[in-house]
Every structure is written in C-alpha cells, then in structure tokens.
Amino acid sequence: MNIDLARTFLEIVDTGNFNKAAERLSVTQSTVSMRIKALEDELGRPLFVRSKSGTQLTAAGLQFRRYATTMVRVWEQARQELALPPGFRTVLNIGGQFSLWDRLLVQWIPWMRTAMPDVALKAEVGLSDGLMRQLMEGLLDVGVMYSPTSRPGLHIEKLLEERLVMVSTRRRSVEEWDVDYVLVDWGPEFRAAHSQAFPDLKTPAVSVGLGALGLQHILAYGGTGYLPMRVARSYLAAGRLFLVSQAPEFRRPAYLVHAEDEAREDWFATALDGLRYVASLENEE
C-alpha cells in the first residue's frame, strides 16, 4: 500500500474535511478524493460517509484508523533508522512548544546523550495542533505541549504544572497598575482566568503570543507581565525583575504525549523517564 494513502486518510480523520486535508497536504481536493477512492478499492470497504455537515468514519474506517496510524509510524521509523550512521541503534523524534524548550527540554537533550549515547535525537518546535498531527502521522515519537487533544492510540500524561507569576522591572503592588503592562497570551485557559481576575482591564498597548518575546520586551523597555516562575527565577535572583505583590497566580499544565505501543524497546521508556526527571527539577513551589 502507498504510504501516502494512509497519511491522507489520517489527515481527513484529523480535520473532518477533504478540503482542509488537501490544504494541509498541499495537494488538490481531487487528489485527496482519488487517494481515498484508491484506498477504499484496495480494502474493499467504504471508509468515509460525506455529508454537508462534514465527513464521518464508517465502521470500517474506525477499524482502519489504528492500522493506518501504526503503518505511518513504522514507515517513518524504518526510513529514519535505515539512514542512521554507524554507532546509533535508533533515532528518537521529539517535538515541543517553544517556551517548553527553554530550560526544560534543552536540559533533557544532554541527559539523553549521557544516558543513551547510541540513540540519535531529532528535535522539533511547534504548536500543540501541529505537534499532535505529527504524532498521529508517526513523524514524532514524543511531544511536550500545553494543549493536547485526545486521540485514539495516543497516551497523554501531565508532565509538570507551571506557575505563572506577575513580574515587573520595578518593585510595585498589583494595585499600582502599570501602563506598560504586556499581556502575554498563555492560552485559552489563561485568558479566561486572566479576564476573570482583571475584569476592568483595558486592551494593553502590547500583547504578544510568545512568552520569550514578552520577556525580552519587558527586560529591554521596562514593564510588567506574566511569566512562568521557572523562566523568571534567574531574573528575580539577579534583581532584574521583581514579583508584583498581591497579584494572583495562575497554573498552566504541560503534557507529555506519545503513542501507546507495548512493543516499544527499553530505550523509549528510559527517554520518557528522563523527561519526567528533568521536569521534576523544575519544581516551582
């Protein structure tokens, strides 16, 4: 079976729409339709029911989903492992959101190189949606993210819980509102909790969707904003930032996601244990 057929099938399952799947795959909608027809002809069963409300899996489609996920993952692993240079037994593909690479995942890489020097590492940066898609397609072995979505065949566990604290470049209390407040968008849960805590807050002059950008702006030009304690800790110790007294704190969990596969070798369990260990070092209490 052409592996592109299985990839196309999984993309439609993820998007629920032939057109959206075509956009993600950078092909035409007719190409997607032809691939699915070829797949259905090969299997001898219809896989989708199409309607105005979207695309639904048939009973056969539900059964095939698990096999398609495994096929894509095994193909990608085989392709990568066959290209490995001598001295390496396998490659581990890991992806994480940008703000989780800082301090957390960058510490895991040297841990892995010491613990398992014969395992090559390929690291990616992305958003939760993209990382989940790569996990479903077998392009990633492990993902570390803030907002995973439940998918068949994927295991999700809480890796750590970040403590978001309000910091400022000068000593102040939350009652002395800073006109240079920078709204760092830490996701939908944070936005909801932030709006509840500050119902009268007008739109700030600066809003950013990337924590690192918010941090650099505050350090360079002064101001106030919410940052993870694990990121702010060194700046607090150096006196470059100060905790804003009486400001509410927020929690933001980060998750470890990987395929449920009992056939995984011991090296994979060791890699996951390493991630849990490094995360435990980032205790923010």
On whether both 245 and 182 belong to a single domain, the answer is: yes
CATH label of the domain that carries residue 36: 1.10.10.10
- Three-state DSSP at 99 gives helix
Instruction: Inform me whether the pLDDT recorded for 284 exceeds 60.
Output: no
On whether both 154 and 258 belong to a single domain, the answer is: yes
Distance separating alpha carbons of residues 157 and 255, to the nearest angstrom: 6
On whether both 37 and 172 belong to a single domain, the answer is: no
| Across 102-106, 112-116, 233-237, 240-244, least confident range | 102-106
Distance separating alpha carbons of residues 181 and 223, to the nearest angstrom: 6
Instruction: Inform me whether the pLDDT recorded for 81 exceeds 70.
Output: no
Share above pLDDT 90 across residues of the chain, in percent, rounded to a whole number: 58
Task: Compute the average pLDDT of residues 124-153.
Answer: 88
Assign 134 a pLDDT band (cuts: 50, 70, 90).
Answer: confident
Which pLDDT value is given to residue 255? 94
Task: Compute the average pLDDT of residues 61-77.
Answer: 85
Assign 262 a pLDDT band (cuts: 50, 70, 90).
Answer: low
Instruction: Inform me whether the pLDDT recorded for 89 exceeds 90.
Output: no
On whether both 152 and 266 belong to a single domain, the answer is: yes
Q: Which domain holds residue 33?
A: 3-79
CATH label of the domain that carries residue 95: 3.40.190.10
* Listed residues 24, 49, 79: the one ending a domain: 79
Greater model confidence, 190 or 284: 190
On whether both 238 and 168 belong to a single domain, the answer is: yes
Q: Across the chain, what does the average pLDDT equal? A: 89
Q: Give pTM, 2 decimals.
A: 0.66
Burial of residue 193 (CB within 10 Å: 0-12, 13-18, 19+) is middle
On whether both 198 and 153 belong to a single domain, the answer is: no
Task: Compute the average pLDDT of residues 84-88.
Answer: 81
Residues 192-247 pLDDT 10s: 999 999 998 888 889 998 888 999 999 999 999 999 998 899 999 999 999 999 99
On whether both 7 and 108 belong to a single domain, the answer is: no
The β-bridge partners of 199 are none
On whether both 175 and 245 belong to a single domain, the answer is: yes
Which pLDDT value is given to residue 12? 92
On whether both 143 and 279 belong to a single domain, the answer is: yes
H-type helices in the chain, by residue range? 3-15, 18-25, 29-43, 59-82, 98-100, 106-115, 128-136, 188-197, 211-221, 229-237, 266-280
Q: How many domains does the chain have?
A: 3
On whether both 230 and 167 belong to a single domain, the answer is: yes
Instruction: Inform me whether the pLDDT recorded for 102 exceeds 80.
Output: no
* Listed residues 79, 95, 128: the one ending a domain: 79
Task: Compute the average pLDDT of residues 175-184.
Answer: 89
On whether both 154 and 262 belong to a single domain, the answer is: yes
Residues 16-51 pLDDT 10s: 889 999 999 999 999 999 999 999 999 999 999 988
* Listed residues 79, 107, 141: the one ending a domain: 79
On whether both 151 and 166 belong to a single domain, the answer is: no
